[in-house]
Amino acid sequence: MSSTLSIPLGFCFPPTVATSFPHSQTKPQNVTFQRRKTTTKACAASENPNQRQNPKQNQKEAKTKNAGDDDGEKGINPAGFLAKRGISHKAFAQFLRERYKVLKDMKDEILKRHENFMILASGFELLGMHRHPEHRVDYMEWAPGARYCAIIGDFNGWSPTEDCAREHYFGHDDFGYWFIILQDKLREGEEPDKYYFQMYNYVDDYDKGDSGVSVEELIKKANEKYWQPGEDRFVNNRFEGPVKLYEQIFGPNGPQTIEDIPDIPDPETRYKAWAAEHGPSPTAAIDSGKEYDIYNVIVDPQWQEKIRALEPPVLYWFETRKGRKAWMKKYSPGIPHGSKYRVYFNTANGPLERVPAWATYVQPEVDGRQACAIHWEPSPEQAYKWKNMSPKVPKSLRIYEAHVGISGSEPKISSFNDFTDKVLPYIKEAGYNAIQLIGIVEHKDYFTVGYRVTNFFAVSSRYGTPEDFKRLVDEAHGLGLLIILEIVHSYAAADEMVGLSMFDGSNDCFFRSGKRGQHKFWGTRMFKYGDPDVLHFLLSNLNWWIVEYQIDGFQFHSVSSMMYTHNGFASFTGELEEYCNQYVDKDALVYLILANEILHSLHPNIITIAEDATFYPGLCEPTSQGGLGFDYYVNLSVPDMWSTFLESVPDHEWSMTKIVNTLVSNREHADKMLMYAENHNQSISGRRSFAEILFGEIDENSNHYKESLLRGSSLHKIIRLITLTIGGRAYLNFMGNEFGHPKRVEFPTSSNNNSYLLANRQWDLLTKDGVHRDLFAFDKDMMKLDENVKVLSRNIPNIHHVNDSSMVISYIRGPLLFIFNFHPKDSYDSYSIGVEEAGEYQIILNTDEIKYGGQGILKEEQYFLKTISRRVDGLRNCLEVSLPSRTSQVYKLRRILRI
């Protein structure tokens, strides 16, 4: 028995419905980084939307799909960088291959639940609070250990029963994701929309639906243009086909017993028989012959091509959307902008309240009041409108590290707007091309500087609103400055009331259990990097800061804390066994690889920097060759060396060999190195800044005041100049250190009676004549040196002169010759330094100039020198230079002499 009906069954959903949910079951595939398209496709009842892509696009995706499937595949070598570097180490090579297998398994697991990696990293589009065009707000949260979930807040009287979802109902899936709908409320005297799915556009200048054209008129217009006569019958009676099939098989004219039912051919055979009698069918519903009712939908190819050639009715349907003004007249928001709210769980251990994990704005605990999330949905008039594009990424980075809260002169917490108006222009004037912001993400207690993060998607409310931070980033871009965010994914705050620890009460979903879940020394929690849902959270967090705030890069804070079970607190000798033993966390390494792969695929201009004290092999190597994929790594041994020298080693005992070896470190990776003489670590947490060490104990009334001031100023300059010019392609300076800020940073704590006296910067020092103004003038010219001559972007220098006896260092980088005399007393009148090119050399930067606080020993005629044809330092020619003690000079070849 077979039955067919030639009517369209038109059940067609937008393709984003299934693919956007975090755990839609899709066929496993390898990574395809497609950018989201906002246009909506028309689809027939049985059509696979993916089949309608451009063939070239399908081929491109097929190639991407197959990439990395096998170790031997072209372009993929899990231990490739070892051969590139000439490293032979079987155990480490085997570890890299095993790590690659863990990575492949994780990708396969992820792609069973997400269509692609772009969707994996876009969880913020679904989780948390989101405005829906059908006059409602949707809320989604991951809490697998909860039995009941509700949103409580001042908008519903903090009721745990009014806005809720329950297990085994629509609001909870098998992976622990809860879904709650907060309906907007009809205003008094208003009637509900005729169509329950009526959509609203929340931008004021989109009021097409307010033009007076009714929904009925638009539907009629769409039908007339799209459907042939009779094809739209299903609009009025969409169950006509199934009803007739049911009646034919089980009605009064159908078989009365099972024995009466003959053998039923397969659906294709039945359709061909029916089509031979009745002609091709646009859509034919055919009973499958099973004991239960299942209907196959057959679509005639010719009819399908005809429909594809027509303009789809979806475009007309958008005309039914009403604008924001119409919505405001008819509805009041279910949760108004600025409302305080928390998520309420009922668990096996009882009820509890939490700040939502995906909250984008949070008010921390103040004066004993419980922390709350703030619903941030500003009106179009209040929402920030971006004006500037991100600057082009330079070949070298001159990074100004800053903390917004301490950026003002007054003893208080400064705001985003203060920083935008006062500090951004200063940074531009100082000659830096990037800003690295610390402490931006909402964190536990101000004195923790921002490292005990509680709410990973929220800017800290201490400094202002999300719109204020967007303005800061936008204005920085307008000045040509990149914004790099220091991101803390290596651990999180252990706080349960406002952070993620024991988030769902009965199941510590975000963090490892037992000792592995606790940082051994800092009292923080360690993420469960091997869990796909935790990866969904962390990778989405990275993408969020780029999409929402247009961040240009990340410095990953303390990756050694996450890469090792001992949190990096172990002695490292550099032997490769230390990087592949039982203390290395493969899951954390896999997360870092995924983070770099996804970030660089979705945002090709993104910058990623690794802060790792252990120099993990392959930090900046391509992930396809066994590396972790970072663009830069921080040489943390440099500031430690300078601190040790300044505090513990007499000036005349400084080792030039140690200075060079520490600064250059590994020459093979030097082009990926970020260097700094000191950052915030040297002036925070009870430590002293270099300026405090050099100038802090100088007595203005002492006999040696001028000598001590000259020593401090000279060392401050030459330390920075050699750190900037001898290493890699990136340099960093902490806010205020460029002019020798005389005081350390001390955040308000109980130990200092919560004082803000040292939690600021003394910008007024730059308005007065003296050492601080001189040091700023030098730092500014040092930045100009790189901007004009491109020092950092050039190849690693040829270091040809290192003399521990005379304490002189010299090297050549590009067209520049750098000479440093670290000796505390000895000056040299005719010191021979080798150069390769014969010609005339001119000093273009001299640390001893009077405008930099020096003595001005060299006269104008000494700024121009000609080479002598004598082999020195293994080079064909030499210069005989005057080197006052504790000074440095930069020479540029002005004219080549041919001999």
Classify burial at 262, counting beta carbons within 10 Å of its beta carbon; exposed 0-12, middle 13-18, buried 19 or more.
exposed
Kindly list the distances between the CA atom of residue 801 and the CA atoms of 806, 820, 870, 888, 889, in Å, as whole numbers in the listed order. Answer: 11, 10, 15, 14, 14
**Spatial separation of the C-alpha atoms in residues 8 and 93, rounded to whole Å:** 59
- The candidate with the shortest Cα–Cα distance to 791, out of 827, 815, 772, is 815
Handedness of CA 686, 687, 689, 695 (dihedral sign): positive
Kindly list the distances between the CA atom of residue 500 and the CA atoms of 88, 125, 516, 525, in Å, as whole numbers in the listed order. Answer: 43, 20, 16, 9
Residue ranges in 310-392 assigned as alpha helix (H) = 314-317, 324-330
E strands, 170-312, are 177-183, 185-186, 283-287, 295-299
- The candidate with the shortest Cα–Cα distance to 452, out of 566, 362, 557, 360, is 557
- The candidate with the shortest Cα–Cα distance to 24, out of 111, 137, 147, 118, is 111
Secondary structure (H, E, C), 820-877: EECCCCCCEEEEEEEECCCEEEEEEEECCCHHHCCCCCCCHHHHEEECECCCECCECE
Kindly list the distances between the CA atom of residue 758 and the CA atoms of 344, 437, 438, 678, in Å, as whole numbers in the listed order. Answer: 40, 19, 17, 18
User: Using the 8-state DSSP alphabet, how is residue 584 labeled?
Assistant: B
* Paired strand residues for 129: 139
Cβ-based neighbours of 629, under 8 Å, separated by 6 or more: 592, 593, 596, 597, 600, 608, 620, 621, 622, 623
CB-based contact 285:233 (threshold 8 Å): no
- The candidate with the shortest Cα–Cα distance to 885, out of 809, 813, 823, 793, is 823
CB-based contact 184:332 (threshold 8 Å): yes
Residue 757, phi-psi category: left (phi > 0), alpha (psi -120 to 50), beta (remainder): alpha
Biggest CA-to-CA distance, the chain? 119
Q: Which two tokens stand for residue 409?
A: 């002169």
**Spatial separation of the C-alpha atoms in residues 50 and 27, rounded to whole Å:** 12
Can 381 be counted among the known catalytic residues?
no
Catalytic residue among 231, 611, 621, 678: 611
Cβ-based neighbours of 72, under 8 Å, separated by 6 or more: none
**Spatial separation of the C-alpha atoms in residues 717 and 739, rounded to whole Å:** 10
**Spatial separation of the C-alpha atoms in residues 838 and 814, rounded to whole Å:** 15
β-bridge pairing 553-556 and 148-153:
unpaired
Kindly list the distances between the CA atom of residue 303 and the CA atoms of 280, 589, 590, 636, 715, in Å, as whole numbers in the listed order. Answer: 8, 52, 49, 67, 82
Kindly list the distances between the CA atom of residue 739 and the CA atoms of 640, 764, 770, 775, 860, in Å, as whole numbers in the listed order. Answer: 20, 11, 10, 5, 26
CB-based contact 466:441 (threshold 8 Å): no
State residue 804 phi and psi, 5-degree precision: -70, -25
**Spatial separation of the C-alpha atoms in residues 205 and 476, rounded to whole Å:** 29
Task: Write out the catalytic residue numbers.
Answer: 611
